[in-house]
């Protein structure tokens, strides 16, 4: 059951922590001054916390707690994972920075995505579940997966592996299967499925390389590879490998062009090429 996820180096994580957390606290103070009704909430979630990891753990526990499991017990479990899981907190910081860089709605600062974006919350909860899975604690990992699926409508198997700098935008309806692997700096829109074909066992889910952009509602089925820097158009069904830097679209998906952006996931350009060379 041991699985090792790609993670950012500790030095990058420490650098991100040094600048990210004070900025979040400063924005929380300014928001409290502008909207006093949020003061108690922001104090409990941000201003009374010593670090981004502590705040994230408390936030996830409050959002995902089951009445029979309890918020405090879940918070302790998440804190254990953050303290002992190599790279979890650093990856959480990289994912948050990815939102700020790619989502125009987050232009006003990272406090809003940190507090409210369910795609971000689901991914960080998955990182905790994945650590539990690697420790041989499958029942707890499945419990956390089920809580995320029920409360956030995002279903990621605990064994699936994710890199850092991953952006799950909106997130509703995203499904990721057991043997799926998602690289670094990938952007995933709502309704994306990284699934099996329904008739295979073993290694049966997609492998998404670095820098890939997966458009809304895209379905990638089977043990196929989405090459580095590729783009999958919204609503496409991918059943075969996608070459690096290719743009694919359709049902079934086929190559319709080649990406003009060096890293489509960072550019977030969902336009597809037309026959005359323009885009739509």
Tokens representing residue 19 in the block:
């600048």
**What 3-state DSSP class applies to 67?**
coil
DSSP calls for 7-76: ---HHHHHHHHHHHHHHHHHHHHHHHHH-GGGHHHHIIIIIT-SSHHHHHHHHHHHHH--TTT-HHHHHH
Whole-number pLDDT of residue 199 = 75
Residue 234 main-chain phi, psi, to 5 deg: -60, 135
Which whole number is the average pLDDT over 240-265?
Answer: 94
Question: How many Å apart are CA 100 and CA 211, to the nearest integer?
Answer: 16
Tokens representing residue 236 in the block:
């496409």
User: Which one is predicted more confidently, 106 or 157?
Assistant: 157
Whole-number pLDDT of residue 164 = 97
Question: How many Å apart are CA 77 and CA 232, to the nearest integer?
Answer: 36
11-64 pLDDT per residue, tens? 444 444 557 999 999 999 999 999 999 999 999 999 999 999 999 999 999 999
- H/E run at residue 181: strand 181-182
266-276 pLDDT per residue, tens? 999 998 876 43
Give me the residue spans of the domains in the chain: 1-153, 173-280
- What value, to the nearest 5°, has the Cα angle with vertex 118 and ends 242 and 6? 50
- Report whether pLDDT(177) > 90: yes
Question: How many Å apart are CA 25 and CA 86, to the nearest integer?
Answer: 25
Q: How high does pLDDT run on average in the chain?
A: 91
Which whole number is the average pLDDT over 204-214?
Answer: 98
92-110 pLDDT per residue, tens? 999 999 999 999 988 889 9
Give domain 1-153's CATH architecture. Orthogonal Bundle (1.10)
Selecting from 3.30.420.10, 3.40.50.2020, 2.160.10.10, 3.50.50.60, what CATH number does the domain 173-280 have?
2.160.10.10
Whole-number pLDDT of residue 255 = 96
């Amino acid at each position: 059951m041991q699985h090792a996820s790609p993670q950012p180096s500790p030095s990058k994580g420490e650098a991100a922590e040094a600048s990210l957390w004070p900025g979040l606290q400063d924005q929380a103070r300014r928001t409290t001054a502008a909207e006093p009704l949020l003061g108690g909430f922001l104090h409990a979630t941000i201003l009374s916390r010593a670090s981004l990891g502590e705040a994230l753990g408390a936030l996830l526990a409050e959002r995902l707690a089951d009445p029979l499991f309890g918020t405090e017990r879940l918070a302790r479990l998440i804190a254990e994972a953050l303290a002992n899981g190599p790279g979890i907190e650093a990856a959480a910081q990289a994912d948050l920075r990815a939102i700020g860089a790619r989502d125009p709605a987050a232009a006003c600062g990272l406090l809003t995505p940190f507090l409210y974006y369910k795609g971000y919350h689901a991914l960080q909860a998955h990182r905790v579940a994945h650590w539990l899975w690697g420790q041989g604690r499958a029942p707890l990992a499945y419990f956390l997966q089920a809580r995320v699926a029920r409360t956030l409508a995002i279903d990621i198997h605990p064994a699936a592996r994710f890199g850092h700098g991953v952006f799950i935008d909106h997130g509703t309806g995203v499904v990721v299967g057991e043997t799926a692997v998602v690289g670094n700096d990938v952007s995933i829109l709502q309704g994306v499925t990284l699934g099996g074909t329904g008739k295979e066992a073993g290694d049966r889910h997609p492998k998404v390389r670095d820098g890939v952009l997966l458009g809304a509602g895209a379905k990638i089925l089977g043990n196929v590879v989405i090459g580095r820097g590729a783009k999958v158009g919204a609503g496409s069904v991918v059943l075969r490998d996608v070459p690096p830097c290719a743009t694919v679209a359709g049902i079934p998906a086929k190559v319709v062009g080649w990406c003009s952006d060096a890293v489509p996931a960072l550019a977030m350009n969902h336009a597809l090429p037309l026959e005359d060379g323009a885009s739509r």
